[in-house]
Structure 1
Amino acid sequence: MKPMTKNMWREIAANKGRFIAIILIILLGTLIFVGVKATGPGLNDALDTTVKTQHLSDVQLFSTTGFTQKDVKTAEKVNGAQAEISKFKYVTGGKNEDVVVLYGYQSSANQNQLKLRSGHLPHGADQIVLDERAKQDYGYRLGDTYRFNRQANLKQRTYQIVGFVDSPRYIDYSTRGSANVGDGTVRYFAYLQPQQLNLPTATVLSVRFQPLQGVNSFSNDYQRAVAKKVRALKAVFKLRAKERNQQLSANVKRAFAPQQQRLTQARKQLVQMKQIAGNSSVLQQQQKALTENQTKLNAALQQATAKTRTTYTWQIREDLPGFTSFGDTSDRIAAIANVFPVFFFLIAALITFTTITRMVEEARRQIGTFKALGYTKWVIARNYLSYALMAGLIGAILCSAIGNVTLPRLVISMYHMTIPLTASVPVMWAVIALAVAFSLLATVGAAVIVVWRELAEKPADLMRPRAPKSAKRILMERITPLWHRLSFNQKVSYRNLFRYKSRMWMTIIGIAGGTALILTGFGLNDSISSTATQQYGQIFHYSATVSLAHDDQSQKATRVLNQSDHYSGASKVNLTTGKVKAHANQIGDVNLVTPKNQQQFKKYVTLSCSLKQNGVVICQKIASQLDVKAGDKVSFTASNGQHANLKVTAVTPNYMGVFAYMSPAAYRHAFNQALTVNTLFVKLTSQSSQQQNQLARQLLKHGGALGTSFASDQKTTVKTMSSSMNVIVLIMILLSGVLSFVVLYNLTNINISERIRELSTVKVLGFFDNEVTMYVSRENMLLTVFGIILGYGAGWGLLSFILNQATTSQVVFPVIIRWPGYVVATLLMVAFTLIVMWVTHQKLKHVDMVEALKEN
């Protein structure tokens, strides 16, 4: 082994702690950088693999007149399309009259295949399989008898539960969609033999495109490709709708033909009788009866013909219950991954840079000796560059592999408890390459800069110790009353702090960075979980929203509500959905709310200002998305085609949904029509889930309601969304804590190694071990306090930036860090400081003072 190589290995052996510390810091930075960056794509790939394994359809088509095999052939005219028809309908049944989406099970089906959790699939006419959610949340078991309501109109009412399954149509465990029966909220799905549904035709057409199965469902390429396929399907089904209408219309006419024939024949007979007997009163009565029957027949024919009008409803994957929210979750993680790990990694890189710099500077005499012995600059430099390269590569490559595999799989496994995902984590080669590049920049880059700087000096200068910094009076010395009250040890500590500013700032940055990272982790959890609380506590003060089937039918709904003991009031509003445009930008799904009574409305919704006679108040999401403020103009286009140009009078806070508000006068002025009530904001006292379902059923049945949504359901959705982030947040908090400890320990070690002669001198002068430890630790304690305070501000700023990146089309997160986050972050940093103090104390007790003082 060459002398230079031997020297490198001896250097590593003599300073194992420093070498391991460099690896650990790089390892932690790389682990969270690569791991969190891979988690968002990992979740998307896992779900994409799952739904493709179970052959989820790309497009689902619903028709008002059903489907036949001719429709299958029509769909398959589009290039690459594979189509299937099946039966489904919404019914009520079970222990609590739950709303169930009921499908006909086809063993030969190639799309939307079920995944069996327990039991077996339905083979007999009296067998049923239920959603796994029915088992977990509603207590159904294999062998139980399941009973449907009479209104379900099935072949029979009772079935035996033979299995529990998962369906790729329902990937989010917390939601199963909505329906127009029962309380309006689907609780779970079920499958029976198709003939048991008692439907004349199939009710859903599923289309899957083979060329799209190699494209990720969450990618922009897939969205564009599906949109193109839907346009092609709409084109062929436009012609099919006309053909279907003609066919059904002809069937209706044929069905009514016998009745029309009888009426025609009766009319002819009546005419003959009039010719024979004259226009008697009896014949006049018969004439009147015939006319009435003809009128009724015409009305029945017209009504039946109207039902033959074919209307299609299109649904793609992102319209499925929970599909978009799952994508939003992975997008949020990806947004966090764009900020948090980068900040984390920069702290790690900064400390690594400092460590390598100190290591090379300590080797000045060694570098001078090698240079004097005739070694070239490259050979000398290679010794230290290899050391830095080895530490950087070990930390970066090892944890790139671990981070890419472990963190995403850990998060996916947490989802696996509710959604059976197939673990599929892509290898993030670009991210890994970036992490390795940053790691080598922090290690090898530091070594290159310092070694080249040292090699520029002459051997004689290098072999002499560097001249110490000249002492200067610090600011505190100039404050004479304060300085005189300090002890000798305190004066020494303050002088050292301000004398070595780079060391001071490195420690403060390390502690502030660790505190900020821990606070950000807690803040992410607090902010996401508080979204619904803020929305339904500070802004919305109602418990439910009732959508009315017809305008100004609020009296029927109010009568039903008055029968409830929990009802305490309602605000009548007009709720119009549309899109808002400004500055060539657009935001959709905007809810324009216009109250009938402004004074009453203030008790239900808190806005930043009162509604004016003209203009509109918009939420902060619209303002940020369209880059508008008070005084600017926006264009609102309702879903029914109504259009108005509106002046923004104010921007109001809002966290869930996209809302805009107008006064009744402003509504009349903008749309040139009177306000009609189509929604009720309802206040209710605390209700159980069963009581809410009962009230929703009554409103749907007797209150002229289209549906009822409860604030508690929104809170549950946000709670589920928050829990899906818990793993990531916990990992970030833990790794931030470990990084903070390693950084503090490493900086303290550097501090001691640089000042070992100074500390030995203090010991020789008679200082006790505790006093020597405090000689160094007093500085650490002061820097810890400053670092923690600075970390509070940095943590708040970092959290704000991350949450701004993580906002979705429907959710804006409030920036909240609750007091436990501050307490835990502070206690952790204090605990780390105390641990480092104890380790330092043990080390200083065993310092060889003679050897230390002999060093140059």
Structure 2
Amino acid sequence: MRAQKKDFFREIRKNFGRFLSIIFIVMLGTAFFAGLRSSSTAMKYSADRYYDKTNMMDLRLLGTLGITDEDVEDIQETEGVETAEGAYAVDVICKLKDKQLVIKVLSLDEKINRPVLTEGRLPKDASECLVDAGVPVTKDVSIGQKLTFTAGDDRKPENLRRKEFTVVGRGYIPSYTDLERGSAEIGDGSTDAIVQILPEAFDMEVYTEAHVLAKGAKQMDTFSESYDTCIGKLTEKLEDLGERASERRYKSLVDEAVDEAVAEAVDKAVKDAGKAAEEELASQMPGMEIPEEMLKEVREKAEKTAREEATKKATEEARRKAEEAIDEPSWYVLDRDKIESFVSYEQNADRMDSLGEVFPVIFFLVAALVSLTAMTRMVDEQRMQIGTMKALGYGGGTIVGRYFWYAVLATMSGGIVGVAVGEKFLPYLISTSYGIMYTGMDEHLTPVNWDQAILAIAAASASTGIATLAACINQMRSRPAELMRPEAPKGGRRVFMEKLPFVWKHMNFTWKSTIRNLIRYKKRFIMTVIGVGGCMGLLLVGYGLKDSITEIAKQQYIQLFTYQAEVTLDINADEKDRQKVLETAENREGVTDTALIARKSVTLLHDGNERDADVFIPQKTDDIDNFLVLRDRVSGERWEFPESGAYLSEKTAKMLGVSVGDTIEVEYESSDSEEEASASGGTAEKKRFDIKVTKISENYILHYLFLSADEWEKMTGEEPEFHKLLINYDKKTAEEEDSFGEELLNLDGCSGFSTITNLEKQIDDMLGVLNDVMWVLIVSAGLLAFVVLYNLNSINILERKREMATLKVLGFYDGEVAMYVFRENMILTVFGIVFGYVFGTILHRFTIVTVEVDLMMFGRTISRESYIICAVLTIGFSLAVNLFMNRSLKKIDMIESLKSVE
């Protein structure tokens, strides 16, 4: 056994290159396998820690007629509730430098939804505020700056005690971690930023909502089934409480309305009765002075009778009117699954799970395939040594164990290193890349995922170990005398090209030999094509992701939205002021065309699916094609703007499950109901209409429904409010664009100015971090390709060492011998590239659909340049390996070919 151990370690030193290559290739495979499959767990773990640290609400309760202090007390006393707090929310307008923003003002909870400070401190009195740090529009707001909130004009918002607040801090709001801030009941229907103030700064009789922390939920994983079960049980209890609280609130409001109406009616009836009694008494005693005591007695008697009769009559009438005027309230108990940023983050983490089901498996299989080949070849080339050991009396277990533990040691070494690197590096990289779209999550934790680590190492060890055992067992079946003789080379056979004499006759010896060898060594042919094709496919996915993700801004804002700038008109300004903005823009030097549009936030519904979107409504459709291209993504066919029906953006149609010809439901807030929204927590009335989808249009960013003004008015009975001006102008420098924007923003009727250049930059910045992920994938695939080619070439040379020596004896120069071998490698590489094109294109499509975020549709095509680059890189790797292996060919001893087989 001591000799066996020495020989075992001697074998490792002797073939250290092979041992190291197995370690490296297994390391790459297991790193991607365990790392990518652990990314979802790491993302969710980091998010759960963030939610726990900020005490993000487990439940949010909304009441259509508000929530009272008594309701909050009842919620707090409900079994399973740890903490309950009432909260306020109101939408206001804030003029911030050159923009008019829609701000959602939230009350700062004492214990729940605690913001993460990035600068300054939390508000301490009713005149201070905390500004949302998670959106770009507030980046220039400084500590100490005063913000003025209005109701759309210069009036103070009726739900706030003051209109001016001093900024004392900036921070991230835990329930708003993505870049969207939800809808609003004023302005253009969408919220630009969040501001938090103390509850005493609000002037409201009841809360607009309540926030709840569930008892014991903080100790659970928020994405687990146990958490869902816990919250589900509490939700049922609070829904039951909500029914009782709604009845109490309804009765309270009705009684209050009845008391006011009765008091007013009785007061009037009493006054009228007293006056009538005095007049009647005076008519009965004309010309006489009536004693004061008599007048008082008659008046009181009349008033008493009138009060009793009026009270009875007015109470019945007032109650009837109150019950008709006041709608019965409802409570809505919303869990974290109704928080848009929470759901979006969970979906993106789940996408990593989906990606981990296929992508790393392919990476791992390519690595395992080559490892298997290397170990199988090692056993085959040492058949003489196995035969010798068998003849000397060594047992089968001892002989097989030598190779089995060699394979397992190399595989486990590579697997352990790969898992350690992969589970720390890849999840962190992916988590930080997504972090640019989810603000506030400053910790990107990467706990060890033991399940995936063990699975990766076990799968790698099993694949190489089983293959090694199979190869050894196959050899052990032979007798020692057979094993001690070299294996007879495979016999040649006629190839199909020999049936094409006009081609075959014009080939020289080396080309004929090359073709015969390619067909004779079918196993090597398949292994090389699959190995190179897999690596080529992974490279293509990396470059394809770069094409699909980083180019969407240009696709959207150069090819589809072809205007250069967008002006937002102040909807609260006078018509005269808005008209001045239009005239100034149209008369500006260099402006070639303008178009007025309306853009309104709506909710689209179809077959149980729903999606927030913007309705795009041009004032005139005849020239809108100068600003907007509507087309089919696949065929490129362009369409006119729809006069009837509607066009739907492609990603939106996919998420809703809509096809051309389907009818969708559009839910919107009418202009009238927005103005009449209740100050006590009520929301604007939701209205709906159905419309047929006539086309599905190419679109990459946000969700759109394209509709004509006539069709909107026909469906809603309301005229669209055209508050956006699209502008085309001759190519401008950045200074000229800034000057143009400054000129318009100085006008009272303008509340915003943005250029397509800035939009492109914002999107490129947002997606730029994903380049890190792409380059990791590209570099890893390149390294895998190099190692695969090295192993396969090394095996090829070892298998044909005697053949190479014979060629040298026959007079072939080193270069000719090298070309004899490497020509085959290059041909197999070309076959691998073709296979990689097909495999990579399919895998790219799957990857894009999997990693796509809700607000964007990534491109579906890979550029021609990427195909060329990937092919050139793969060929380059093959050439580099050939040059590296050329040294091995030069070292082949010609005497080997003259030795007897015996």
When normalised by structure 1's length, the TM-score is: 0.80
- Shifted more, 780-789 versus 373-382: the winner is 780-789
For 1:538 and 1:471, locate their aligned partners in 2 and report how far apart those are by CA, in whole Å: 58
* CA deviation vs aligned residue, 1:210-243 (integer Å, no higher than 9, x gap): 2433443334554565455434323312221232
For 2:187 and 2:660, locate their aligned partners in 1 and report how far apart those are by CA, in whole Å: 44
Q: Based on CA coordinates, which of the two structures has the bigger radius of gyration?
A: 2
For 1:587 and 1:557, locate their aligned partners in 2 and report how far apart those are by CA, in whole Å: 42
- Shifted more, 142-151 versus 609-618: the winner is 609-618
**What runs of 5+ residues in structure 1 fail to find an aligned partner?**
279-294, 550-554, 702-706
**Alignment match, 1:110:** 111
* CA deviation vs aligned residue, 1:122-173 (integer Å, no higher than 9, x gap): 335554332334799522334445454554545555554433222212222x
Question: What RMSD, in angstroms, separates the aligned Cα atoms of the two structures?
Answer: 5.0
For 2:819 and 2:241, locate their aligned partners in 1 and report how far apart those are by CA, in whole Å: 83
- 2:848 matched to 1:773? no
Q: Would the alpha carbon gap of residues 152 and 587 (structure 1) be closer, same or farther in structure 2, given more than 3 Å must change?
A: same
- 2:606 matched to 1:580? yes
For 2:341 and 2:647, locate their aligned partners in 1 and report how far apart those are by CA, in whole Å: 30
Equivalent residues in 2 for 1:136-535, closer than 5 Å: 138-149=139-150, 151-153=155-157, 155=161, 158-172=164-178, 174-182=179-187, 184-219=189-224, 222-223=227-228, 226-227=231-232, 229-251=234-256, 263-268=268-273, 271=276, 310=329, 312=331, 315-414=334-433, 418-529=439-550
For 2:709 and 2:100, locate their aligned partners in 1 and report how far apart those are by CA, in whole Å: 40
Amino acid at match of 1:475: F
* CA deviation vs aligned residue, 1:488-516 (integer Å, no higher than 9, x gap): 44444333323322222222222211110
Identical residues among aligned pairs (%)? 30
For 1:373 and 1:214, locate their aligned partners in 2 and report how far apart those are by CA, in whole Å: 64
The answer as to whether partners of 1:546 and 1:679 remain within 8 angstroms in 2 is no
1:685 corresponds, among 727, 730, 733, to 727
Q: Shift of the alpha carbon at 1:836?
A: 1.1
The answer as to whether partners of 1:56 and 1:113 remain within 8 angstroms in 2 is yes
Q: Shift of the alpha carbon at 1:3?
A: 2.5
* CA deviation vs aligned residue, 1:726-758 (integer Å, no higher than 9, x gap): 443332222111111111111111112222222
For 1:692 and 1:207, locate their aligned partners in 2 and report how far apart those are by CA, in whole Å: 46
Q: Would the alpha carbon gap of residues 594 and 52 (structure 1) be closer, same or farther in structure 2, given more than 3 Å must change?
A: closer
* CA deviation vs aligned residue, 1:7-34 (integer Å, no higher than 9, x gap): 2222111100111111111111110011
Amino acid at match of 2:473: W
For 1:712 and 1:588, locate their aligned partners in 2 and report how far apart those are by CA, in whole Å: 32
Amino acid at match of 1:71: D
Q: Shift of the alpha carbon at 1:363?
A: 0.7
**Alignment match, 1:286:** none
For 2:712 and 2:193, locate their aligned partners in 1 and report how far apart those are by CA, in whole Å: 40
Amino acid at match of 1:508: V
Q: Shift of the alpha carbon at 1:388?
A: 1.1
**Alignment match, 1:282:** none
- Shifted more, 794-803 versus 809-818: the winner is 809-818
The answer as to whether partners of 2:84 and 2:210 remain within 8 angstroms in 1 is yes
Amino acid at match of 1:493: T
Q: Would the alpha carbon gap of residues 65 and 622 (structure 1) be closer, same or farther in structure 2, given more than 3 Å must change?
A: closer
For 1:62 and 1:26, locate their aligned partners in 2 and report how far apart those are by CA, in whole Å: 54
- Shifted more, 26-35 versus 243-252: the winner is 243-252
The answer as to whether partners of 1:121 and 1:163 remain within 8 angstroms in 2 is yes
Q: Shift of the alpha carbon at 1:794?
A: 1.2
For 1:3 and 1:477, locate their aligned partners in 2 and report how far apart those are by CA, in whole Å: 53
Q: Shift of the alpha carbon at 1:307?
A: 7.6
The answer as to whether partners of 1:538 and 1:606 remain within 8 angstroms in 2 is no
For 1:798 and 1:436, locate their aligned partners in 2 and report how far apart those are by CA, in whole Å: 25
The answer as to whether partners of 1:745 and 1:836 remain within 8 angstroms in 2 is yes
For 2:264 and 2:654, locate their aligned partners in 1 and report how far apart those are by CA, in whole Å: 65
The answer as to whether partners of 1:570 and 1:680 remain within 8 angstroms in 2 is no
Q: Secondary structure at the match of 2:415?
A: helix
For 1:814 and 1:368, locate their aligned partners in 2 and report how far apart those are by CA, in whole Å: 59
Q: Would the alpha carbon gap of residues 780 and 558 (structure 1) be closer, same or farther in structure 2, given more than 3 Å must change?
A: farther
For 2:600 and 2:17, locate their aligned partners in 1 and report how far apart those are by CA, in whole Å: 69
Q: Secondary structure at the match of 1:685?
A: strand
Amino acid at match of 2:778: I
The answer as to whether partners of 2:709 and 2:720 remain within 8 angstroms in 1 is no
Q: Shift of the alpha carbon at 1:557?
A: 14
Q: Would the alpha carbon gap of residues 79 and 699 (structure 1) be closer, same or farther in structure 2, given more than 3 Å must change?
A: farther
Q: Secondary structure at the match of 2:478?
A: coil
**Alignment match, 1:83:** 84
The answer as to whether partners of 2:544 and 2:862 remain within 8 angstroms in 1 is yes
**Alignment match, 1:18:** 18
**Alignment match, 2:734:** none
The answer as to whether partners of 2:712 and 2:720 remain within 8 angstroms in 1 is no
For 2:136 and 2:647, locate their aligned partners in 1 and report how far apart those are by CA, in whole Å: 46
* CA deviation vs aligned residue, 1:564-610 (integer Å, no higher than 9, x gap): 847844689999856434xxxx5344989999999869956446899
Q: Would the alpha carbon gap of residues 7 and 761 (structure 1) be closer, same or farther in structure 2, given more than 3 Å must change?
A: same
For 1:314 and 1:563, locate their aligned partners in 2 and report how far apart those are by CA, in whole Å: 50
- Shifted more, 674-683 versus 354-363: the winner is 674-683
Equivalent residues in 2 for 1:699-848, closer than 5 Å: 722-723=767-768, 725-806=770-851, 813-848=858-893
Q: Shift of the alpha carbon at 1:760?
A: 2.8
**Alignment match, 2:4:** 4
- Shifted more, 465-474 versus 420-429: the winner is 420-429
- 2:104 matched to 1:101? yes
For 2:576 and 2:863, locate their aligned partners in 1 and report how far apart those are by CA, in whole Å: 44
For 1:526 and 1:257, locate their aligned partners in 2 and report how far apart those are by CA, in whole Å: 72
For 1:432 and 1:693, locate their aligned partners in 2 and report how far apart those are by CA, in whole Å: 61
* CA deviation vs aligned residue, 1:385-422 (integer Å, no higher than 9, x gap): 11111112222233223322222123334455643343
The answer as to whether partners of 1:540 and 1:606 remain within 8 angstroms in 2 is no
Q: Would the alpha carbon gap of residues 561 and 32 (structure 1) be closer, same or farther in structure 2, given more than 3 Å must change?
A: farther
Amino acid at match of 2:70: K
- Shifted more, 791-800 versus 389-398: the winner is 389-398
When normalised by structure 2's length, the TM-score is: 0.76
Q: Would the alpha carbon gap of residues 232 and 816 (structure 1) be closer, same or farther in structure 2, given more than 3 Å must change?
A: farther
